[in-house]
Protein backbone atom coordinates (compact mmCIF):
# COMPACT_ATOMS: atom_id res chain seq x y z
CA UNK A 1 0.00 0.00 0.00
CA UNK A 2 1.69 3.19 -1.22
CA UNK A 3 0.49 6.51 0.16
CA UNK A 4 1.81 10.03 -0.33
CA UNK A 5 1.32 12.88 2.11
CA UNK A 6 1.11 15.96 -0.07
CA UNK A 7 1.09 19.69 0.58
CA UNK A 8 1.42 22.82 -1.54
CA UNK A 9 2.14 26.49 -0.98
CA UNK A 10 0.55 29.03 -3.31
CA UNK A 11 0.61 32.71 -4.21
CA UNK A 12 -2.91 33.13 -2.83
CA UNK A 13 -6.16 31.37 -2.12
CA UNK A 14 -7.90 31.15 -5.49
CA UNK A 15 -6.58 29.26 -8.51
CA UNK A 16 -9.54 30.49 -10.58
CA UNK A 17 -8.36 34.09 -10.31
CA UNK A 18 -4.79 33.32 -11.32
CA UNK A 19 -3.05 32.23 -8.13
CA UNK A 20 -0.33 29.65 -8.73
CA UNK A 21 1.56 26.91 -6.92
CA UNK A 22 5.01 27.90 -5.62
CA UNK A 23 6.02 24.81 -3.63
CA UNK A 24 5.10 21.11 -3.59
CA UNK A 25 6.13 18.54 -0.99
CA UNK A 26 5.37 14.80 -0.97
CA UNK A 27 6.35 12.30 1.74
CA UNK A 28 6.07 8.60 0.89
CA UNK A 29 4.57 5.87 3.08
CA UNK A 30 4.62 2.22 2.07
CA UNK A 31 2.50 -0.01 4.30
CA UNK A 32 2.35 2.85 6.83
CA UNK A 33 6.13 3.13 7.07
CA UNK A 34 8.09 6.23 6.03
CA UNK A 35 10.46 5.29 3.22
CA UNK A 36 12.54 8.47 2.97
CA UNK A 37 11.68 8.64 -0.74
CA UNK A 38 10.23 12.14 -0.85
CA UNK A 39 9.62 14.71 -3.58
CA UNK A 40 10.09 18.47 -3.22
CA UNK A 41 9.95 21.36 -5.66
CA UNK A 42 10.04 25.12 -5.47
CA UNK A 43 8.19 26.54 -8.47
CA UNK A 44 8.44 29.90 -10.23
CA UNK A 45 4.79 31.09 -10.41
CA UNK A 46 5.60 33.94 -12.80
CA UNK A 47 3.74 36.35 -10.55
CA UNK A 48 3.98 37.87 -7.06
CA UNK A 49 2.40 36.34 -3.99
CA UNK A 50 -0.43 38.13 -2.23
CA UNK A 51 0.80 39.88 0.94
CA UNK A 52 -1.27 37.58 3.15
CA UNK A 53 0.10 34.44 1.51
CA UNK A 54 3.66 35.78 1.62
CA UNK A 55 3.32 36.30 5.37
CA UNK A 56 2.40 32.60 5.71
CA UNK A 57 5.07 30.94 3.55
CA UNK A 58 7.79 33.62 3.26
CA UNK A 59 8.77 32.61 -0.29
CA UNK A 60 9.56 35.86 -2.06
CA UNK A 61 9.38 36.57 -5.78
CA UNK A 62 13.15 37.04 -5.79
CA UNK A 63 13.76 33.63 -4.22
CA UNK A 64 11.45 31.89 -6.71
CA UNK A 65 12.63 33.71 -9.84
CA UNK A 66 15.30 31.15 -10.82
CA UNK A 67 13.22 28.09 -9.85
CA UNK A 68 11.67 25.81 -12.53
CA UNK A 69 8.24 26.66 -13.90
CA UNK A 70 5.42 24.20 -13.28
CA UNK A 71 5.62 22.90 -16.85
CA UNK A 72 9.19 21.77 -16.12
CA UNK A 73 8.26 19.65 -13.11
CA UNK A 74 4.80 18.39 -14.14
CA UNK A 75 6.01 15.09 -15.60
CA UNK A 76 8.18 14.25 -12.58
CA UNK A 77 5.28 15.05 -10.25
CA UNK A 78 2.82 12.97 -12.29
CA UNK A 79 5.17 9.99 -12.41
CA UNK A 80 5.84 10.14 -8.66
CA UNK A 81 2.16 10.17 -7.64
CA UNK A 82 1.03 7.64 -10.28
CA UNK A 83 -1.46 5.22 -8.71
CA UNK A 84 -0.69 6.20 -5.10
CA UNK A 85 -3.30 7.22 -2.55
CA UNK A 86 -2.91 10.83 -1.43
CA UNK A 87 -3.24 12.13 2.13
CA UNK A 88 -3.87 15.88 2.23
CA UNK A 89 -5.08 18.33 4.87
CA UNK A 90 -7.97 20.26 3.28
CA UNK A 91 -7.64 18.26 0.07
CA UNK A 92 -9.99 20.32 -2.16
CA UNK A 93 -7.62 23.29 -1.90
CA UNK A 94 -4.48 21.46 -3.02
CA UNK A 95 -6.21 19.25 -5.59
CA UNK A 96 -7.95 22.30 -7.03
CA UNK A 97 -4.64 24.09 -7.54
CA UNK A 98 -2.93 21.02 -9.00
CA UNK A 99 -5.81 20.35 -11.39
CA UNK A 100 -5.66 24.01 -12.47
CA UNK A 101 -1.91 23.82 -13.13
CA UNK A 102 -2.36 20.68 -15.23
CA UNK A 103 -5.23 22.32 -17.12
CA UNK A 104 -2.99 25.27 -18.04
CA UNK A 105 -0.67 22.76 -19.70
CA UNK A 106 -3.51 21.04 -21.54
CA UNK A 107 -3.02 17.87 -19.49
CA UNK A 108 -5.61 15.56 -17.89
CA UNK A 109 -6.47 16.54 -14.29
CA UNK A 110 -3.81 15.82 -11.71
CA UNK A 111 -6.37 13.87 -9.69
CA UNK A 112 -6.78 11.37 -12.56
CA UNK A 113 -3.25 10.06 -11.96
CA UNK A 114 -3.61 9.13 -8.29
CA UNK A 115 -5.79 6.72 -6.33
CA UNK A 116 -7.93 7.59 -3.33
CA UNK A 117 -7.64 11.06 -1.80
CA UNK A 118 -7.84 11.04 2.00
CA UNK A 119 -8.66 14.40 3.58
CA UNK A 120 -7.25 14.54 7.11
CA UNK A 121 -9.20 17.72 7.84
CA UNK A 122 -12.48 15.88 7.23
CA UNK A 123 -11.32 13.02 9.45
CA UNK A 124 -10.18 15.39 12.18
CA UNK A 125 -13.52 17.21 12.20
CA UNK A 126 -15.29 13.87 12.61
CA UNK A 127 -12.96 12.87 15.46
CA UNK A 128 -12.94 16.27 17.21
CA UNK A 129 -16.18 18.07 16.33
CA UNK A 130 -16.31 21.72 17.31
CA UNK A 131 -12.57 21.94 17.96
CA UNK A 132 -9.75 23.59 16.04
CA UNK A 133 -8.36 21.10 13.55
CA UNK A 134 -5.58 22.98 11.80
CA UNK A 135 -2.28 21.14 11.38
CA UNK A 136 -0.80 23.10 14.29
CA UNK A 137 -3.80 22.26 16.50
CA UNK A 138 -3.54 18.57 15.65
CA UNK A 139 0.20 18.56 16.37
CA UNK A 140 -0.54 20.05 19.79
CA UNK A 141 -3.36 17.57 20.42
CA UNK A 142 -1.25 14.55 19.54
CA UNK A 143 1.95 15.77 21.20
CA UNK A 144 3.88 16.14 17.94
CA UNK A 145 6.57 18.81 18.14
CA UNK A 146 6.30 21.57 15.55
CA UNK A 147 8.56 24.03 17.36
CA UNK A 148 10.78 24.23 14.26
CA UNK A 149 7.85 25.43 12.14
CA UNK A 150 7.95 29.23 12.07
CA UNK A 151 6.62 29.51 8.51
CA UNK A 152 4.56 27.13 6.39
CA UNK A 153 6.58 24.94 4.05
CA UNK A 154 5.20 22.20 1.82
CA UNK A 155 7.77 19.51 2.69
CA UNK A 156 7.88 20.32 6.40
CA UNK A 157 4.08 20.40 6.59
CA UNK A 158 3.93 17.05 4.76
CA UNK A 159 6.34 15.51 7.27
CA UNK A 160 4.26 16.82 10.18
CA UNK A 161 1.03 15.64 8.56
CA UNK A 162 2.53 12.17 8.10
CA UNK A 163 3.04 11.95 11.86
CA UNK A 164 -0.45 13.31 12.52
CA UNK A 165 -2.07 10.87 10.07
CA UNK A 166 -0.26 7.84 11.49
CA UNK A 167 -1.29 8.87 15.01
CA UNK A 168 -4.90 9.60 14.00
CA UNK A 169 -5.31 6.20 12.38
CA UNK A 170 -3.21 4.05 14.69
CA UNK A 171 -6.29 2.66 16.41
CA UNK A 172 -7.55 1.36 13.07
CA UNK A 173 -4.52 -0.86 12.52
CA UNK A 174 -5.17 -4.57 12.70
CA UNK A 175 -2.68 -7.31 13.42
CA UNK A 176 -2.64 -8.13 9.73
CA UNK A 177 -1.78 -4.54 8.74
CA UNK A 178 1.07 -4.51 11.25
CA UNK A 179 2.42 -7.77 9.88
CA UNK A 180 2.17 -6.48 6.33
CA UNK A 181 4.05 -3.36 7.38
CA UNK A 182 6.90 -5.41 8.80
CA UNK A 183 7.12 -7.26 5.48
CA UNK A 184 7.04 -4.08 3.38
CA UNK A 185 8.85 -4.12 0.07
CA UNK A 186 10.63 -1.36 -1.77
CA UNK A 187 9.46 0.46 -4.88
CA UNK A 188 5.77 0.34 -4.02
CA UNK A 189 5.50 -3.43 -4.65
CA UNK A 190 2.70 -5.18 -2.82
CA UNK A 191 3.73 -7.02 0.32
CA UNK A 192 2.78 -10.73 0.51
CA UNK A 193 -0.61 -11.46 2.01
CA UNK A 194 -0.74 -13.04 5.47
CA UNK A 195 -2.98 -16.10 5.82
CA UNK A 196 -5.41 -15.57 8.68
CA UNK A 197 -5.18 -19.27 9.48
CA UNK A 198 -1.55 -18.72 10.47
CA UNK A 199 -2.50 -16.36 13.30
CA UNK A 200 -2.69 -18.15 16.66
CA UNK A 201 -4.90 -16.43 19.23
CA UNK A 202 -4.60 -17.34 22.94
CA UNK A 203 -7.50 -19.22 24.58
CA UNK A 204 -7.96 -18.39 28.26
CA UNK A 205 -9.89 -21.09 30.14
CA UNK A 206 -11.77 -20.33 33.37
CA UNK A 207 -10.09 -21.54 36.56
CA UNK A 208 -11.80 -23.91 39.02
CA UNK A 209 -12.42 -20.99 41.39
CA UNK A 210 -14.07 -18.96 38.61
CA UNK A 211 -16.27 -21.91 37.61
CA UNK A 212 -17.32 -22.39 41.27
CA UNK A 213 -18.16 -18.68 41.59
CA UNK A 214 -20.21 -18.85 38.38
CA UNK A 215 -22.08 -21.90 39.71
CA UNK A 216 -22.88 -20.01 42.89
CA UNK A 217 -24.38 -17.14 40.90
CA UNK A 218 -26.56 -19.58 38.95
CA UNK A 219 -27.72 -21.22 42.20
CA UNK A 220 -28.74 -17.81 43.49
CA UNK A 221 -30.71 -17.08 40.31
CA UNK A 222 -32.48 -20.45 40.55
CA UNK A 223 -33.47 -19.65 44.10
CA UNK A 224 -34.75 -16.19 43.16
CA UNK A 225 -37.01 -17.46 40.34
CA UNK A 226 -37.97 -20.62 42.28
CA UNK A 227 -36.92 -22.86 39.44
CA UNK A 228 -34.33 -23.17 36.72
CA UNK A 229 -33.07 -19.80 35.46
CA UNK A 230 -32.73 -19.14 31.75
CA UNK A 231 -29.01 -19.79 32.02
CA UNK A 232 -29.76 -23.37 33.10
CA UNK A 233 -32.08 -23.87 30.14
CA UNK A 234 -29.54 -22.82 27.52
CA UNK A 235 -27.53 -25.75 26.12
CA UNK A 236 -24.10 -26.09 27.68
CA UNK A 237 -21.28 -25.89 25.10
CA UNK A 238 -19.13 -28.97 24.71
CA UNK A 239 -15.44 -29.00 25.55
CA UNK A 240 -14.59 -28.89 21.84
CA UNK A 241 -16.81 -25.82 21.33
CA UNK A 242 -15.20 -24.05 24.29
CA UNK A 243 -11.72 -24.41 22.81
CA UNK A 244 -12.65 -23.96 19.13
Contact 166, 32 (CB under 8 A): yes
Nearest to 50 by CA among 40, 61, 41, 66: 61
- Sheet strands (E) in the chain: 2-10, 21-30, 33-34, 39-42, 85-88, 117-119
Contact 31, 191 (CB under 8 A): yes
**In 3-state terms, what secondary structure has residue 188?**
helix
| Residue 113 a catalytic site member | no
Give Cβ neighbours of residue 21 (< 8 Å, ≥ 6 apart): 8, 9, 10, 43, 45, 70, 97, 98, 101
**In 3-state terms, what secondary structure has residue 152?**
coil
Query: From residue 1, how far is each of 66, 67, 87, 88, 128 by CA, in Å?
Result: 36, 33, 13, 16, 27
Of the residues 89, 148, 152, 214, only one is catalytic, namely: 152
Residue 231 and residue 180: Cα distance in Å, rounded?
Answer: 43
The strand pair at 2-10 and 21-30 is best described as antiparallel
Nearest to 18 by CA among 57, 48, 59, 41: 48
Catalytic residues: 152
Amino acid sequence: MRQLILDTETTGLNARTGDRIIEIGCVELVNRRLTGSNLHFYVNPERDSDPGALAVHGLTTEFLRDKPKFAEIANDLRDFVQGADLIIHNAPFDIGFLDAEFALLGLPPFSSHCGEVIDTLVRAKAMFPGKRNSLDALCDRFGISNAHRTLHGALLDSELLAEVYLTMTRGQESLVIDMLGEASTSGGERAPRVALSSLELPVIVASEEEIAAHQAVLDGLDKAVKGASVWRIQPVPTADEQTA
